[in-house]
Structure 1
Amino acid sequence: MPRYDIVVFGATSFVGRLVCRHLLARHGAQGELRWAMAARSRERLEAVRAELGPDAAAVPLVMADSGDEVSLGAMVGATRVVLSTVGPYALYGSLLVRLCAEQGVDYCDLTGEVPWMARMLAAHGDTAARSGARIVHCAGFDSVPSDVGVHVLQREAATRLGAPCTRVGMRLKAASGAFSGGTVASLLNVLREARADDETRALLADPYALCPREGRPSTEQPEVGLTARDALSGGWIAPFIMGAINTRVVHRSHALRAHAWGADFRYDEAVMTGGGVRGWMGAAGMGAGLGGFMAALSVPPTRWLLERFVLPAPGEGPSPEAQERGFFDIRLFGLTADDASLQLRVTGDRDPGYGSTCKMIGEVAVALADGIGEYPGGGFFTPSVALGDALVERLEAHAGMTFEVID
């Protein structure tokens, strides 16, 4: 029997510390849930455990290095679930995913690196299916609100409208929070890969990049321009920087559900900026800013300046007060083939990249450890497909999230 239910790998990272704080508050150090903190430095682990306070004194510490197969293998063999915050995952996560897939150990992470996820799926998907390991990427703000939100919307559409929504748009209505340093590092690594490899660039442009090749839909997906009038929300919209990740995850969920929402299902994401001239100006400014930001990241001199003086580094993050002041408010607009409509509001009570993300992945890991789920066997799953309505209940009960149909 495994010694632990969950090992938090990367417990000394900024988000890792927040995840540990959440697990400690929810389950204590020696409760029914047996969990441990893992990283490569005992000294740093002991410092983090001390920061968590006297209640954390009994939390076990595990030493493991992302590049050392022996220590990683021992860590994986000692637990039912590995929760990893060690990114960029393309640099530090591949060996760990392979070991989890081989040993039949469940795994979840915070990656938004689509090319890396595609590589892991191709390399280890069959192994995980045979061993029973459930590999769940994107278990934070990327892409739980989008993925689980569409799951809830489609469940409600079946009940209220008698048919699935074949057209869904996720719209970020409002949010307050800071960019995660780990997210920035992962984005920069993806851009480096894209510059060096034509195949990676093609993968990033493919909305079905994470879907099985057999039976892959040919439906052309909507693209949000730098400024656009939105037929779903009725106002102006601008691109959402995380949309390129979340859309791929939602399409994988659809594929794993045997395209239950229809072969012509279409999905996109954007930021709402309002109506009228003010809404247009907001969309134009946001679109121009995002375009300029991405262009600056693509050019080595300006990228260096942004990394050096503007962007947060991995390990940095907002104060606890700033995390508590943060929030997000997302709207999902759905239309059936007969143009019946449904709207869902998804909210979070902390800043998206830190305060909310740590609770989301914490609840995903605990649900995996509890053995719940709606999809039999092992493999590479999205959060909604792996855990279904049980995850919705836990997010609402313990992660400060709400999923509410708006009449």
Structure 2
Amino acid sequence: MFGEPQTAEKTSPRRQLVQLIKDEHPGEAGIVYCLSRKSTEQFADYLCEQGIDAMAYHAGLPQDERSARQARFLREDGVVIVATIAFGMGIDKPDVRFVAHVDLPKSVEGYYQETGRAGRDGLPATAWMVYGLGDVVAQRRLISQSEGSPQHRQNLSRHLDSMLALCESLSCRRQQILQYFGEDSSPCGNCDTCLHPPQAWDATVPVQMLLSTIIRLERERGQHFGTGQIIDVLRGKNNPRSEESDHGSLSVWGIGADLSEAQWRSVFRQTTARGWTVPVGEYGVFMVDASADPVLRGEVRVELAKPKRQSRTSSASSGGVRKFHLTEDQEEIFNRLRIWRRTTAANAGVPAYVVFPDTALMHIAIAQPQSSAALRKVSGVGDKKLEAYGAEVLEIVAGADVG
């Protein structure tokens, strides 16, 4: 089962990730993908500081260490692995409840493959990603510096453009992903854009203002700047750079004062995602691409998404198992069963899901069987499971402490 896609603007990714895990997936297994080895270490350390059981995984670790960490992730409940894309091939852990991307994936293919590692047991799972303008700038720079033929760089750009289109989508994300692979589908009803449809607005004039400001800075001052200075010119905000270059005398000075800095950053991010504003050079300054000419001439109407409020977008309002529609009593039994399963699996030296997968524990918690015959009727409980674990499971359901 593919995790239901959710995308948020990157503001404070470490804190946003902790909020995701603590609010929606406490004590559950997950994979966090980063683009660099250094980031995996930093994010794993931060999660541990916040009381989350996390480990880094990347190709720079010794082979025995990588094997040990992979084995622990597969064997134990509730472990979060923070990894580069070196992790995941051949991993078949059915109870991964979330896959998070704290850096923009390079392609829809990679994103789909990585998020497909969540929810393989058929229970609800989350595919969560944060991304911002900095991700776009970094990816464009990597492509421009990439070795290989112009055709190779063009292919990389095309993959990135598709990924950005998914991030900025105003419609169902799952539907768009499937359409990318040539499959037709109806809206899923579970991704963030289905649950909380983004509000669109006519941003034609603000986009024209942004493009004109970049052009004026280049033509009249011979200068190129990053996002901060360009937004300051739009909003008429004085700073040493503006004073030194007499930006206050430009015709575009302060023309966008009615929009906040956050609103302008959203406009900037979306115009860059569409390729109208292009980061150049190692300092991430911007130029206007020729593809923006129809916008400047007023030949096309530009519709952008309004910035989202900085809150979680999922329909889940509390801990992970509540997404499975359990009552409080059922949830208590489910959690007791998971604790027992963790100990049982550790003693046997096998992954927890080998004892019982989450689906079976959930069905047991819902059915609350009081006899071996009733337990045998629960989905996921066969004769061998009943013989090996039946008595202990029935005691747990009845409220007794086992082990």
- TM-score after normalising by structure 2: 0.35
Greater strand proportion: 1
Relative contact order, higher structure (CA 8 A, sep 6+): 1
State which structure, 1 or 2, has the greater radius of gyration over its C-alpha atoms. Answer: 2
- TM-score after normalising by structure 1: 0.35
